[in-house]
């Protein structure tokens, strides 16, 4: 992940404006040509304005692993979903972190007990995706607020833990109201 360089971006904007002003004052086409190149040079230092982060396990390879484990009690409805990642993978300044939750492999519970720092994800942190039904969003701003009270920083966190029953509310299809049959006597004409 690259660090944003706002001072370099601001200096580039000022340089661009100075070249435009000089081109107008001097009536020089070459200064205008030089000014037209400056925005192309500024592209690598643009501030990162992406508001959501998509955590795709296939794309991130070994940096991200999403799996489910059964809780130690053995109850099937007490499963946990673990989002395990290497520190630095998550952009904590994102608005929402989207994670696919379809076809999650079931892993050994010992894998989740590895050393590291975890942050629990509560039901009110979750937000469903509008179009992709098998993706769930996690509000990163709420996680950062909750982690402020922890003894470790977010840069040390390597796992997010969700309860399967919290996800079920977002995965089940909401039954739609069907129109009553035309011969129903309770329907007013």
- Sequence spans of domains, the chain: 6-45, 52-171
Q: Does the pLDDT value for residue 188 go beyond 60?
A: no
Model pLDDT, residue 69: 83
The reported pLDDT for the residue numbered 25 is 94
Conformation bin of residue 18: beta by default, left when phi > 0, alpha when psi is -120 to 50: alpha
pLDDT of residue 181: 42
Helix/strand/coil for 102: coil
pTM score: 0.61
């Amino acid at each position: 992940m690259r660090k944003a360089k706002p001072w370099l971006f601001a200096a580039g904007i000022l340089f661009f404006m100075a070249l435009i002003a000089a081109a107008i004052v001097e009536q020089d086409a070459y200064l205008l040509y030089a000014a037209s190149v400056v925005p192309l040079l500024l592209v690598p230092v643009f501030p990162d304005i992406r508001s959501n982060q998509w955590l795709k396990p296939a794309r991130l390879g070994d940096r991200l692993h999403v799996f489910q484990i059964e809780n130690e009690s053995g109850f099937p409805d007490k499963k946990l979903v673990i989002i395990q990642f290497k520190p630095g993978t998550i952009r904590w300044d994102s608005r929402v972190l989207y994670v696919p939750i379809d076809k999650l492999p079931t892993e050994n519970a010992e894998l989740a007990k590895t050393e590291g720092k975890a942050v629990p994800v509560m039901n009110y942190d979750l937000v469903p995706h509008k179009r992709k039904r098998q993706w769930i969003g996690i509000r990163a701003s709420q996680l950062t607020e909750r982690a402020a009270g922890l003894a470790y920083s977010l840069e040390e966190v390597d796992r997010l833990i969700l309860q399967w029953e919290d996800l079920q509310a977002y995965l089940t299809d909401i039954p739609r109201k069907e129109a009553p049959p035309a011969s129903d006597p309770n329907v007013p004409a």
